[in-house]
Amino acid sequence: MGAEAETGPTRDLLCHDCDLVHAHVELERGEKAVCTRCGSLLARGVHEVAARTFSFALASLVLLIVANVFPFMEFKIAGRVQVARITTGVTQLWKDGYPELSCMVAFTSVVAPLVMLVGLLMASGPMLVGHRHPWMRSVGKVIGRLKAWSMMEVFLLGVIVSAIKLSQMADIVFGPALFAFLVLIVTSTAAVAVYDPPTFWDYLDGRDAA
Ligand SMILES: [Zn+2]
């Protein structure tokens, strides 16, 4: 149990399952901290956090590229085939006179996730090989700010609703981008979940064994 509630930069570890407070411990490579009462995971070592974040972020980046390059879905209406990509939605909104909405969709479903994933790679890559760079602080701050702006699942919900509406008048064929997008939502959520900001800042401050 942590004797003091809060002493400077040292932070206590709280078990999210049973609320037991543990004193902060330094973790060596490959080690993890578990709750002494219920056995839940409290924290992972720097190397493990970095390796997991990097893998999920890299996979997500590849999927994001696939999701933007390939067709999302195809509509077949009276012999005509219309291919829809993520960019189609953005440009169509702009053409229809909704520039703000168009920018919002582009930002939340493409730009924010892209910057976020590149940021996670830039934060976890050097951690993985034991490097510290001054610019990593800025990267950490950008990741913190962008978390709230990455809303790919909202975009997907919009796509599903429009697909259901359109299915009454057109044949819809789902494209590879949709499947890439579905997996991307899972992997990018995982990347954000395993990236542990306190571990990252402790590492930059040299408070953790690399
Ligand atoms: Zn516990």
Structure tokens at 129: 């090989």
Are residues 143 and 96 located together in one domain of the fold?
yes
10 Å Cβ neighbour count for 116?
A: 25
- Reply yes or no on whether the pLDDT at 5 is more than 50: no
10 Å Cβ neighbour count for 4?
A: 9
Any idea what the Cα angle at residue 124 is, between residues 118 and 128, rounded to 5°?
A: 140
The pTM assigned to this predicted structure is 0.80
At residue 172, what is the residue type? I
Question: From ligand 1's centre to the CA of 96, what distance in Å?
Answer: 54
Whether the Cβ atoms of residue 178 and residue 66 lie closer than 8 Å to each other: no
Question: From ligand 1's centre to the CA of 41, what distance in Å?
Answer: 8
Residue 193 domain-assigned?
yes
C-alpha to C-alpha distance for 140 and 138, rounded to whole angstroms? 5
The arithmetic mean of pLDDT across residues 93-115, rounded, is 92
Q: What is the pLDDT of residue 100?
A: 94
Question: From ligand 1's centre to the CA of 199, what distance in Å?
Answer: 20
CA dihedral 53, 55, 60, 66 (to 10 degrees): 160
10 Å Cβ neighbour count for 191?
A: 24
Question: From ligand 1's centre to the CA of 189, what distance in Å?
Answer: 24
119-157 pLDDT per residue, tens: 999 999 999 998 999 999 999 999 999 887 878 888 888
Q: Which domain holds residue 94?
A: 45-204
Residue 134 domain-assigned?
yes
Are residues 37 and 77 located together in one domain of the fold?
no
Burial (CB < 10 A; 0-12, 13-18, 19+), residue 55, is middle
Are residues 81 and 10 located together in one domain of the fold?
no
Residue 108 domain-assigned?
yes
Are residues 127 and 117 located together in one domain of the fold?
yes
C-alpha to C-alpha distance for 99 and 105, rounded to whole angstroms? 10
Are residues 86 and 126 located together in one domain of the fold?
yes
Residue 26 domain-assigned?
yes
Are residues 72 and 89 located together in one domain of the fold?
yes
Residue 10: pLDDT band with limits 50, 70, 90: low
Question: From ligand 1's centre to the CA of 148, what distance in Å?
Answer: 28
% of the chain beyond a pLDDT of 90: 45
Contacts of 83 by beta carbon, 8 Å cutoff, 6+ apart: 71, 74, 175
Question: From ligand 1's centre to the CA of 20, what distance in Å?
Answer: 6
14-70 pLDDT per residue, tens: 888 999 998 877 777 777 888 999 998 888 888 889 999 999 999 999 999 999 999
Question: From ligand 1's centre to the CA of 21, what distance in Å?
Answer: 8
- Reply yes or no on whether the pLDDT at 206 is more than 60: yes
Are residues 176 and 190 located together in one domain of the fold?
yes
Are residues 130 and 35 located together in one domain of the fold?
no
Question: From ligand 1's centre to the CA of 1, what distance in Å?
Answer: 12
Are residues 121 and 162 located together in one domain of the fold?
yes
Residue 185 domain-assigned?
yes
Are residues 181 and 132 located together in one domain of the fold?
yes
- Reply yes or no on whether the pLDDT at 180 is more than 80: yes
Question: From ligand 1's centre to the CA of 174, what distance in Å?
Answer: 44
End-to-end alpha carbon distance in the chain: 26
Are residues 56 and 102 located together in one domain of the fold?
yes
